[in-house]
Amino acid sequence: MSEDKSPQKEPKKELRLATRLVRSGLKRSPHMETAEALYLTSGFTYDSAQEADEKFAGTRPGYVYGRYGNPTIRVFEERLMALEGPGAEECLGTGSGMAAVNAALLANLKAGDRVIGAKAMFSSCLWILDTLLPRFGVEVALVDGADLDQWRDAAQKGCKLALIETPANPTLGAVDIQAVADIIHTAGGLLVVDNVFASPVLQKPFQMGADIVVYSATKHMDGQGRTLGGAVLAKKELIDVAGGIRDFIRHTGPALSPFNAWVLAKGLETIELRVTRQCENAAKLADALAGLPGVSRLFYPGREDHPDHAIHARQMSAGGTLIAFDVAGGREGAWKFLDALEIIDISNNLGDSKSLATHPQTTTHRRMTEEARLDIGVNPGTIRLSVGLEDPADLIEDVTQALGQL
């Protein structure tokens, strides 16, 4: 929190979303610059020893060290809170999305606690659950995220915390956030939702019972493949309780770079426009793929033939920017398809303005066993496609000609 001494214009009414995305968190320096100032500093000075004492004690607002906070980072945090809406009482930026996930989990766990997680999620999140947490005496149970009976059975043994990702990486399965939140809260636990695939534009987990929401800001928030970043959002009591998330981030050091925060804050100005257009493109491309020879299976949350369409439709305002599908010929067919693409790039990133395709079996989910991959729907021929801002007709022509190479 800053001790702002520069003149600011305060709006006289509650602003609408598009305006908040451009204006939230903006605190101009005495130079009154148009764009947000970029504060590239690791430390801060004080007018007196007493001021330093008060700021370190938290009795006086202001910044003390770059690892603890920075004016540029705060612009990003406040702008993201404005987008997330009610329930997001506080936000902390982190150096990456995985730093955000790790902080949300470890800040709330100790030896002897029990965690429940959905099987289908990003493999690095699964690594924390099935490899890291057990090293520190935390018990972990993995369930089918769509099976509420499995959630109920697992919660009967107790639960300190649960982690879900919906839509799930990479086949876009759904988890009923409200139903799982009710189960976890009854068991006395907290629900952490990784909302990166939907983005805060399309899905509001706090409105459905989530306690903590985490993001890889690297994805839709940047949206142009430039920077790493992450964020943890929650009520103030979860962030600021002694030994809580703020203390964990301060003392373990997953700090967000001020430059990256500046890029992300600027990215949030256009995220609604970009994600809306990307969803429109993805819907058109998914419909085209569904009718093409060589596609044996297709998942798009916005299509009625998605197994979890009803849940996605209830939780998300659009179908999203990602498509998953299987091509004929297993891994050989998938690689041949990817190599034949002329516009769409091969990349494991997502949420970018450029369309990107990857082969999960050999990239994002390669550390999993074949049995575990098949259990969450990742087949040898599965492709994950992140749809960008290109003309959808060009994208349709590109996937059509690439499938023709099979």
The three-state secondary structure class of 298 is strand
- Of 148, 97, 158, which Cα lies nearest the Cα of 122? 97
pLDDT of residue 158: 95
**Mean pLDDT, the chain, whole residue set:** 94
Q: Are 337 and 327 in contact (CB under 8 A)?
A: yes
Q: How confident is the model at residue 10 (pLDDT cuts 50, 70, 90)?
A: low
pLDDT of residue 342 exceeding 70: yes
Mean pLDDT of 360-372: 92
Query: Distance of CA 158 to CAs 104, 115, 131, 257, 336, Å?
Result: 19, 9, 20, 38, 47
- Among the candidates 217, 246, 268, a domain finishes at 268
- Among the candidates 268, 302, 329, a domain finishes at 268
| Same domain (yes/no): 185, 315 | no
pLDDT of residue 322 exceeding 60: yes
Q: How confident is the model at residue 27 (pLDDT cuts 50, 70, 90)?
A: confident
The verdict on residue 286 lying in a domain is yes
The verdict on residue 387 lying in a domain is yes
pLDDT of residue 2: 46
pLDDT of residue 379: 94
Contacts of 127-134 with CB under 8 Å at 24 or more apart are 127/367, 128/101, 128/102, 129/163, 133/105, 133/109
Q: Are 354 and 388 in contact (CB under 8 A)?
A: yes
* Buried/exposed 1-19: b ≥16 CB within 10 Å, e otherwise: eeeeeeeeeeeeeeeeeee
- Of 84, 81, 24, 77, which Cα lies nearest the Cα of 204? 84
The verdict on residue 67 lying in a domain is yes
| Same domain (yes/no): 225, 123 | yes
Report the percentage of the chain scoring pLDDT > 90.
89
Using alpha carbons only, give the angle 151, 154, 157 rounded to the nearest 5 degrees: 140
| Same domain (yes/no): 114, 132 | yes
Using alpha carbons only, give the angle 246, 247, 248 rounded to the nearest 5 degrees: 90
Residue 133: which residues within 8 A CB-CB, separation 6 or more? Answer: 105, 109, 115, 140
Taking only Cα atoms into account, the Rg of the chain, rounded to an integer number of angstroms, comes to 22
CA 299 to chain centroid, in Å, comes to 20
The verdict on residue 6 lying in a domain is no
Query: In this structure, what CATH number is given to the domain that contains residue 300?
Result: 3.90.1150.10
The verdict on residue 323 lying in a domain is yes
- E-strand spans in 241-396? 295-299, 322-327, 345-346, 356-358, 382-386
Looking at residue 279, its amino acid is C
Give the separation between CA 322 and CA 311, rounded to whole angstroms.
16
| Same domain (yes/no): 61, 177 | yes
Mean pLDDT of 371-375: 91
| Same domain (yes/no): 229, 163 | yes
- Of 122, 172, 163, which Cα lies nearest the Cα of 313? 172
| Same domain (yes/no): 78, 220 | yes
Mean pLDDT of 154-179: 97
The verdict on residue 4 lying in a domain is no
Give per-residue pLDDT as tens, 81-102: 999 999 999 999 999 999 999 9
| Same domain (yes/no): 45, 150 | yes
The verdict on residue 244 lying in a domain is yes
pLDDT of residue 255 exceeding 90: yes
Give the separation between CA 43 and CA 66, rounded to whole angstroms.
6
How many structural domains are present in the chain? 2
The verdict on residue 12 lying in a domain is no
Query: In this structure, what CATH number is given to the domain that contains residue 144?
Result: 3.40.640.10
pLDDT of residue 370 exceeding 80: yes
pLDDT of residue 9 exceeding 80: no
pLDDT of residue 3 exceeding 70: no
Report the percentage of the chain scoring pLDDT > 70.
97
| Same domain (yes/no): 176, 27 | yes
| Same domain (yes/no): 343, 260 | no
pLDDT of residue 11: 64
Residue 4: which residues within 8 A CB-CB, separation 6 or more? Answer: 27
Question: Containing domain of residue 57, as a range?
Answer: 17-268
| pTM score of the predicted model | 0.94
- Among the candidates 247, 268, 289, a domain finishes at 268
pLDDT of residue 212 exceeding 80: yes
pLDDT of residue 44: 95
Q: How confident is the model at residue 12 (pLDDT cuts 50, 70, 90)?
A: low
Which residues face 215 on adjacent strands?
231
Residue 371: which residues within 8 A CB-CB, separation 6 or more? Answer: none
Helix (H) or strand (E) holding 214: strand 212-216
| Same domain (yes/no): 236, 195 | yes
Span of 26-30, 149-153, 299-303 with lowest mean pLDDT: 26-30
| Same domain (yes/no): 205, 340 | no
What DSSP line would sit under 127-165, residue for residue?
HIIIIIHHHTT-EEEEE-TT-HHHHHHHHTT--SEEEEE
| Same domain (yes/no): 261, 288 | no
